[in-house]
Amino acid sequence: MVGDAANDLNADKAPQCPKGQFACTSNICGESNSRDSVTSLACLLRSWASSANLYNMDIQASNSVSSRHPPLDVLRRSAKACNRCRKRRTKCIANPPYPCMTCREAGHSCVYSESEKRVMVPESYLLELQAQARRGGTAREGRSAREGKERREGAEGRDGDFAEISHQAIELGFTGSDNWVIGNSGQFHFMGNSSSTYIANRLNPTADTLDWHKYPHYQDTSWIRHSSGHGIPPLPPIDIAHRLYRAQHAYIGTIFSFLSDSQFHQRLERVYEGLPDPNNRDECLVYCQILLVFAFGQMYSINQWVDKEGPPGFSYFKYALAFLPNVYEDGSILFIEVLSYVAYFMQTINRRDAAYLLIGIALRMAISLGLHQEISDQNIDNDTREHRRRVWWSTYSMERLLCVTSGHPISIQDEDIDLLLPTPKAQEDNHIASILASYTELSRTQGIIGEKIYRKKQKSGSDLSACVQNIMKRLSDWFEHLPEAMKSNAPDLGERPSREMVSTYLHYYHCINMTARPILLYAVQRKLASNSQQPNTDRREQDLSTDIVHVIDRAVSAARSSALILHNAARYNLVATYGFIDGEQAFSAALLLVMVNIAFPYKETDASAMNMALGVLQGMAERGNGYIKACHSLLSKIRSTIKPLDPPGPVNFNAQAEMSGEPPSAAVNQAANPNSWPPNNQHGSFSMDFEGDPAVWAEVLESIDIDMDRQWIEG
């Protein structure tokens, strides 16, 4: 009867149904809601009848499938179709990941491909997830990538030329999600790879964003759009004005030569005589420059946030901007000096983009005036020539500093500069020119670091090792050629340091740290990617080549020295709370020491130096520097998440500024004394063959994830 009913329906040209175990997959019969009950019943009966032979022939396989496959109470299309049904454009009856009926009956393998789903999420959240996925993927793939390269190198021979390393084998895995920061307006901003914040974010264990990286110290922006007018600012008394000048000169006047003592006294008299003529550009520039000196003087003298109207000196800065001429007016040396001052103050209040734009304008104005070339006119006297040199090198040095620490390309190549370094003037202390020349040489080296290590796309690991070798040798030569007075007055000897020596030595150690930072990042990633069976083994000696160990040791010594200098300077209130350079170099030293304590087994000297550097950052944060507070918080999260906070026998340091100026306690002196630490070898010669495994250097190259020339943003 059942067979007759089915045949009668088939004779009436009912739709044919493919064979199935339980259900009809026909495009017509599958629409059960549009057919009458007889048709639906016939389809089911026919399906059962036609599948009876299948069960009889392979009952064991059917029972096995039934035990794994949940029953289908409702005959409906699967939410995810297999590849075969999708290609045939037929409905897929299945419950992924189990095979569908059609593929099972036909004996085909049933494969389900992941289908993309459109999800509406904020772009900032997407970038956040990409950054986290990238950090996790790097950690998981670190070991397998290294082993794969070792196998390739073993097949090719270890004694081959470094230049034969496959470029494809060391292609940079540049995702770029870590390089973008969202500002207050929602606009994306680029954060380059030589930035300390970028490196720290690579190790960030949390999902917190880096929006604080672009937040200025003073959130109110009305002062930018509304000029203060050419009103009379509240000028300080003459004696206070001289004191403010000396304060700014101690911090930035010795390393950047934008205003001499004689020029200041002469221009100060003009300012106190009355307001300038608004139509006289030079008078407005003089007035602007003196107000900027007052702003910097207050910033370095007060050294903490005490007013609701912004950081110290901010009021003078706002008045100074009212007298700043338009940048499209004719250039002059005075204009370059003022623009450089404005750019640096913008950097101190964490308006990084404005600082980058302004210092770029100042440098291009200097180029347009030919300051980067020795002038051939013999009628120009020596003082004028020297003034031109010092203004150029000061602008050059500041531009290098702002660009490299923010990860931006530099504006001029050294090959395009043909100018002597600063030399002593007549009846001038030789120490002044020595500080300027020494600091300028370090800034030139810093530019090379940014170009060769963090920006230029290396062809092989051997290129990177050669760059590191050349830079380290250059830094060693710099120290060897220092005047004896500067060597004997090092600021890490425990005595009250001079501020210009603090600036110079911190710059020197910062260059060493920036050179070695990619290697430390590589070591940290290896540590995170491996499940070490010997946690107390010094991996610095076990797994890394001699040349890399040498670079790391020098960097660790440099970071410890930086921490000690900052700690000693803080005791005498010589660390600028809002000084951009001090904050950047303190953050860089603390970051490197945190990385060392992550990558290698616990050492008391490294942990003590790390705590000292973090203490300096904490002291600056407690005085009102919100940016440094966020930096300190980020480093603390990295340390507390990855490294136990209570290693055996820790040494704690109180690195906050001691306003009384009293010498430190004997216990702190003993622990912080460089003689109690391993020798600092950064002063010695740096000669090595760099004959380590090229595959390891290639991995270091990959860990940096850099290529600023590559246009990786897709619309």
**At how many degrees (to 10) do helices 281-302 and 261-273 cross?**
110
Q: What pLDDT is stored for residue 456 in this prediction?
A: 58
Residue 666 has what pLDDT? 34
Torsion angles phi and psi, residue 188, rounded to 5: -80, 140
How much is the pLDDT for 65?
43
The share of the chain scoring above pLDDT 90, in percent, equals: 33
Strand partners, 180: 190
State mean pLDDT over 173-201: 54
Between 678 and 46, the higher pLDDT residue:
46
pLDDT at position 338 is 97
- pLDDT score recorded for residue 34: 44
Within-domain flag for 656: yes
Listed residues 52, 79, 106: the one ending a domain: 106
The DSSP annotation for 82-140 comes to: -HHHHHHT------TTSPPHHHHHHT-----PPPP------HHHHHHHHHHHHHHHHHH
> Among 106, 121, 153, where does a domain finish?
106
Distance of CA 184 to the CA centre of its chain: 19
- CA of 368: how far to CAs of 335, 381, 415, 678, in Å? 12, 21, 17, 50
| Interacting residues of 69 by C-beta distance below 8 A, sequence separation 6+ | 95, 98
pLDDT of residue 567: 93
Q: What is the pLDDT of residue 304?
A: 81
What does the pLDDT read at residue 462?
A: 73
Q: Are 635 and 645 in contact (CB under 8 A)?
A: no
Cβ atoms of 507 and 439 closer than 8 Å: yes
d(CA 517, CA 200): 10
Q: Residue 592: pLDDT above 50?
A: yes
Q: Pick the closest to residue 402 from 392, 394, 414, 410 (CA basis).
A: 410
Torsion of CA 143, 642, 637, 702, to 10 degrees: -10
| 541 or 628, greater pLDDT | 628
pLDDT at 237: 94
Higher pLDDT: 536 or 290? It is 290
Q: Which segment, 97-101, 270-274, 528-532, 685-689, is predicted with the most confidence on average? A: 270-274
Give the residue ranges of DSSP H helices in 170-250: 196-202, 222-225, 238-248
Residue 686 counted as domain residue: yes
pLDDT of residue 333: 94
What is the structure's pLDDT at 234? 84
**Residue whose pair of structure tokens reads 């403010």 in the numeric block:** 244
Q: Is the pLDDT of residue 714 over 80?
A: no
Q: Which helix (H) or strand (E) covers residue 529, if one does?
A: helix 499-529
User: What's the confidence (pLDDT) of residue 675?
Assistant: 42
The whole-number pLDDT of residue 426 equals 85
Could you tell me if 78 and 23 are in contact, meaning their C-beta atoms sit under 8 angstroms apart?
no
pLDDT of the residue at 5? 46
Q: Which of 135-144, 204-213, 287-296: highest mean pLDDT?
A: 287-296
* Alpha-carbon distances of 687 from 449, 471, 472, 491, 683, rounded to whole Å: 18, 11, 9, 26, 12
Q: For residue 13, give every residue at least 6 positions away whose Cβ sits within 8 Å of its Cβ, in sequence order, or none.
A: none
pLDDT at position 355 is 93
Task: Please report, as a single letter, which amino acid is at residue 519.
Answer: I
What does the pLDDT read at residue 396?
97
Number of domains in the chain: 2
Cβ neighbours around 8 below 10 Å, total? 11
pLDDT of residue 656: 37
Instruction: Tell which wins on pLDDT, 678 or 397.
Output: 397
Q: Are 204 and 241 in contact (CB under 8 A)?
A: no
3-state SS, residue 233: coil
The answer to whether residue 263 scores a pLDDT higher than 90 is yes
Q: Say what the pLDDT of residue 371 is.
A: 93
* Residue at 60: amino acid letter: Q
Among the listed ranges 102-106, 130-134, 149-153, 418-422, which one has the minimum average pLDDT value? 149-153
Cα(466)–Cα(460) distance, rounded to whole angstroms? 10
In this structure, what is the dihedral angle of CA atoms 641, 647, 652, 655, given to the nearest 10 degrees?
Answer: -30
pLDDT at 541 over 90: no
pLDDT at 688: 44
Report long-range pairs for 380-385 (Cβ below 8 Å, ≥24 apart).
382/425, 382/426, 383/425, 383/426
User: Average of pLDDT values for 397-409?
Assistant: 91
| pLDDT surpassing 70 at residue 568 | yes
Residue with tokens 């990177």, as numbered in its chain:
464
Residue 437 has pLDDT above 90, yes or no: yes
Q: What is the tens place of the pLDDT at every residue in 268-301?
A: 999 999 888 989 999 999 999 999 999 999 999 9
Query: What is the identity of the amino acid at 526?
Result: R
Q: Which helix (H) or strand (E) holds 488?
A: helix 484-488
Residue 451, domain member (yes or no) = no
* Average of per-residue pLDDT across 423-438: 91
In the three-class reduction of DSSP (H, G, I as helix; E, B as strand; rest coil), residue 546 is classed as helix
Q: Is 616 left (phi over 0), alpha (psi -120 to 50) or beta?
A: alpha
Among positive and negative, which fits the CA dihedral 65, 69, 72, 77? negative
Within a domain: residue 483?
yes
pLDDT over threshold 60, residue 430? yes
Question: Mean pLDDT, to the nearest integer, of 163-175?
Answer: 31
- What's phi and psi for 374, nearest 5 deg? -70, 130
Here the tokens at position 121 are 């999420």
The answer as to whether 390 is a domain residue is: no
Q: Which of 88, 106, 124 is the last residue of a domain?
A: 106
**Confidence band for 305, pLDDT divided at 50, 70 and 90:** confident
If you average pLDDT over residues 79-94, what whole number do you get? 81
The residue behind tokens 């259900």 is 23
Q: Which residue has the higher pLDDT, 300 or 695?
A: 300
3 state SS of 56: helix
User: Across the chain, what does the average pLDDT equal?
Assistant: 73
CA–CA dist 558, 678 (Å, integer): 11
d(CA 148, CA 154) in angstroms, rounded, equals 10
Cα distance between residue 646 and residue 651, in whole Å: 10
**Long-range pairs for 358-361: beta carbons < 8 A, 24 or more residues apart:** 359/395, 359/398, 359/399, 359/402, 359/403, 360/399, 360/411, 361/327
Distance from first CA to last CA of the chain, Å, rounded? 67
Whether the Cβ atoms of residue 448 and residue 485 lie closer than 8 Å to each other = no
pLDDT tier, 564 (very low <50, low <70, confident <90, very high otherwise): very high
Q: pLDDT per residue over 644-664, tens digit each?
A: 544 444 333 343 333 333 333
Contacts of residue 57, Cβ cutoff 8 Å, sequence gap at least 6: none
What are 124's two structure tokens? 């900032």
Which residue intervals of 530-625 are DSSP H helices? 539-542, 546-571, 580-599, 604-622
Q: What is the largest distance, in Å, between two alpha-carbon atoms of the chain?
A: 124
Q: What is the mean pLDDT of residues 618-641?
A: 87
- Domain span holding position 691: 195-202+475-704
Residue 73 in any domain: the answer is yes
Asked if the model's pLDDT at residue 469 lies above 70, the reply is yes
| Angle of CA points 175, 580, 625, to nearest 5° | 95
Output the pLDDT for position 186: 52
Lowest mean pLDDT among 255-269, 542-556, 673-687, 692-706: 673-687
**pLDDT, average across residues 471-477:** 94
Label each residue of 243-275 as H, E or C: HHHHHHHHHHHCCCCCCCHHHHHHHHHHHHHCC
User: Is 152 a member of any domain?
Assistant: no
Side chain identity, residue 87:
K
For residue 393, the number of C-alpha atoms closer than 13 Å in the C-beta half-sphere is 29
Instruction: Establish if 657 belongs to a structural domain.
Output: yes
Which tops the pLDDT comparison, 120 or 78?
120
Tokens of 675: 């003689």
Residue 693 and residue 154: Cα distance in Å, rounded? Answer: 11
- Model pLDDT, residue 218: 52
Specify the residue for token string 């940048």. 327
- Output the CA–CA distances (angstroms, integers) from residue 413 to 372, 374, 431, 451, in the order listed: 11, 16, 28, 10
pLDDT digits (tens, 9 = 90+) for 4-48: 544 444 444 444 444 444 444 444 444 444 445 545 555 554 554
Question: How far apart are the C-alpha atoms of 142 and 610, rounded to whole Å?
Answer: 26
What pLDDT score does 106 carry?
86
Residue 214 has pLDDT above 70, yes or no: no
Question: Is 481 or 462 the better-scoring residue by pLDDT?
Answer: 481
C-alpha triplet 267, 268, 269: angle, nearest 5°:
90
Predicted pLDDT at 242 = 96
Q: How far apart are CA 626 and CA 619, in angstroms?
A: 12
Within 13 Å, how many C-alpha atoms sit on residue 268's CB side?
Answer: 20
What band does 611 get if pLDDT is binned at 50, 70 and 90? very high
* Model pLDDT, residue 216: 55
Q: What does pTM read for this prediction?
A: 0.66
* Strongest mean pLDDT among 143-157, 221-235, 335-349: 335-349
Amino acid at 514: M
